Amino acid sequence: MTPRDARPADERSFLASYDASAFPHPSVAVDVAVVTIEDGELKALLVRRTEHPHRGRWSLPGGFVGMRESLDAAARRVLAGKGGLSKVYLEQLYTFGAPKRDPRTRVISIAYYALVHPGKLRDIGIESDTSRLATLQVPWAGEEGGRVHAVDERGRKLPLAFDHADMLGLVVLRLRGKLDYAGIGFELLPREFTLRQLQTVYETILDRSLNKDSFRRRMLASGRVVPTGRQEAHVGHRPAALYRFSRDV
Amino acid sequence: MTPRDARPADERSFLASYDASAFPHPSVAVDVAVVTIEDGELKALLVRRTEHPHRGRWSLPGGFVGMRESLDAAARRVLAGKGGLSKVYLEQLYTFGAPKRDPRTRVISIAYYALVHPGKLRDIGIESDTSRLATLQVPWAGEEGGRVHAVDERGRKLPLAFDHADMLGLVVLRLRGKLDYAGIGFELLPREFTLRQLQTVYETILDRSLNKDSFRRRMLASGRVVPTGRQEAHVGHRPAALYRFSRDV
DNA sequence: TTGACAAATATGCCTGATGCATATATGCTA
DNA sequence: TAGCATATATGCATCAGGCATATTTGTCAA
């Protein structure tokens, strides 16, 4: 939509008929869930809040949307601010707009999620006092009070600010839904990977074990996975062949 | 996100550290695609714009989001304004925020889609000078210039305002993706329906024909379709059994 | 140098779902 | 009351997924 439909449709100029300052506008922000898989666990990048509200809690990195900036551009700017994450898979997730989600003023937030493989994330030195990679604990699907928890390396729950737990919960559901459909699994792996690594990504996202043989057959038959001719080295057993993702079909 | 992360984290009160009037905010609107299936065609409710910009073009019904109103509530309010569409399936689709999508000022629009069966829509008297049910012509998936067209009953293209063609395109993709997964097909049918009607819904959304026997077996085996014991009447051939949707698996 | 190891890779079979063809049932209409 | 058009039922071939078993191959330790 755009003009106020309820307005009398007389012949004033469109500038006169739409006065942006005539009523208050909400603030618009983006929040970005940077997700990776490490040691068979889903993890997300969290930053500690240093200001009210929810001071001391953990939140997704975010920022306000500039007046001349697209939503995607705002999300990429937030990513760039977090140590140079560029060229990563980024997709809009959902828009959160409960009137009281921020106690200060009305803030509507467009949530995004980015997928990175753990090596890339560790390279840019994420862990610090105000930034960490938190493990996502996903309760059983549809379970009562099935909210996603973020925990530290010792399993202690990290308190999340605002509705960011809802955002992370939606990320998990979206990943499960798009896993087969789109090439999401590959975004969480380095450029070359073994089928075992790919299966671990699938099993982590789906939170269930998969049949090894049929997984292998299905992936090879899909044509989205092509052998590079190389194989792993120094793994203490027969090395697996390395594959890469093929976008075409 | 919420506070300005770049701000110095000193000890001023949070009210002082966040001045909503210090920088301009975009307008926030919702647009709702009311979708139905009639005569084996996907159709959407369009309204004719009576003001600039895109005066005379067709657009999705929409409205601005109130400062104390959730996004879902805003979308339902828009629906209620269109002749009393309540209790319909409504789901957030995607948020469109290109800086120039509205030439007047920055407007960020959260697109929704609603699913209705055609009887319900016809009952409330949709067709008029400024409102109509337009057929969606969906080009072959991934085809060059694969934009969705809205056409009138004679097949003439209706010009769409803003990025509303993109919105309708996304609706179609979303419907295809969620068709098997969620109970979307049933929202486009009356409370009791035949398996043939359900198959037509599936074929219309997927834009391909399905095997009748396996479709029937699959639906009955899914447990989401239960017989009511009743059957159609006066159809000029053997009447089909009537079924209804069962939410519990 | 060689054998044990651990996981990758290969092969075969069973089962269930889907595609397809054919046969039968049934309310409506002329 | 016969014919019609479509629903419903049954049988079979094909294919993908689940599962078990056998073989292959770098690594590491004796």
Report the amino acid identity of residue A72: D
Residue of B nearest to A10 (CA): B51
pLDDT higher than threshold 60 for residue B97: yes
User: What is the number of alpha carbons within 13 Å of residue A223 lying toward its C-beta?
Assistant: 3
Q: How many CB atoms lie within 10 A of CB A48?
A: 16
Tokens representing A8 are: 């009398």
pLDDT in tens, B119-131: 888 777 677 778 8
Per-residue pLDDT, B94 = 98
Residue of A nearest to B96 (CA): A71
User: Between A4, A31, A67, which is nearest B26 by CB?
Assistant: A67
Q: How far is A228 from chain B (nearest CA, A)?
A: 28
Residue of B nearest to A82 (CA): B5
Report, in ranges, which bases of strand C sit under 7 Å from a protein C-beta.
5-12, 17-21, 25-29
Per-residue pLDDT, B16 = 36
Question: Which of A132-141, B59-68, B202-211 has the weakest average pLDDT?
Answer: A132-141
Per-residue pLDDT, B75 = 97
Q: What is the mean pLDDT of residues B78-98?
A: 91
Pairwise CA distance, residues A103 & A97, whole Å: 12
Closest nucleotide relative to residue B241's CA, C1' based: D7
B65 neighbourhood in chain A, CB within 8 Å: 26, 97, 108
Closest nucleotide relative to residue B214's CA, C1' based: C18
Q: What is the mean pLDDT of residues B125-138?
A: 82
Per-residue pLDDT, A12 = 30
The partner residues of B35 in beta bridges, in order of sequence, read: B44, B115
Per-residue pLDDT, A246 = 87
Give residue for tokens 């959304």: B205
> Rg of chain A over CA atoms, in angstroms?
22
pLDDT-derived band of residue B82, with 50, 70 and 90 as boundaries?
confident
Q: What is the mean pLDDT of residues B163-173?
A: 95
Query: Within 141-170 of chain B, which residues have Cβ less than 7 Å from strand D?
Result: none
Q: Is B210 near strand C, with its CB below 7 A from some atom of it?
A: yes
- What does the pLDDT profile of chain A (249 residues) look like in tens digits? 444 443 333 323 333 344 555 678 999 999 999 999 998 899 999 999 998 899 999 999 999 999 999 999 999 999 998 777 888 999 999 999 999 999 999 999 999 999 999 888 877 767 777 888 999 998 765 555 568 999 998 989 999 999 999 999 999 999 998 998 888 999 999 999 999 999 999 999 999 999 999 999 999 988 889 999 899 888 888 899 999 998 776
Between chains, do B27 and A25 touch, taking CB under 8 Å as contact?
yes
Pairwise CA distance, residues A126 & A131, whole Å: 6
CB neighbour list of residue B16: distance below 8 Å, 6 or more residues apart? none
Q: Is B28 near strand D, with its CB below 7 A from some atom of it?
A: no
User: Between A62, A81, A99, which is nearest B2 by CB?
Assistant: A62
Q: What is the mean pLDDT of residues B83-99?
A: 92
Name all domains of chain A by residue range, CATH numbers in brackets.
25-181 (3.90.79.10), 192-245 (1.10.10.10)
Q: How many CB atoms lie within 10 A of CB B108?
A: 26
Closest nucleotide relative to residue A236's CA, C1' based: D27
Between chains, do B17 and A52 touch, taking CB under 8 Å as contact?
yes
Per-residue pLDDT, A62 = 95
Tokens representing A160 are: 């999340």
pLDDT in tens, B214-244: 999 999 988 889 999 898 888 888 899 999 9
Pairwise CA distance, residues B52 & B106, whole Å: 15
Per-residue pLDDT, A143 = 54
Q: What are residue A203's phi and psi, to 5 degrees?
A: -65, -35
User: Between A25, A98, A110, which is nearest B25 by CB?
Assistant: A25
CB neighbour list of residue A238: distance below 8 Å, 6 or more residues apart? none
ipTM summary value: 0.87
Per-residue pLDDT, A88 = 92
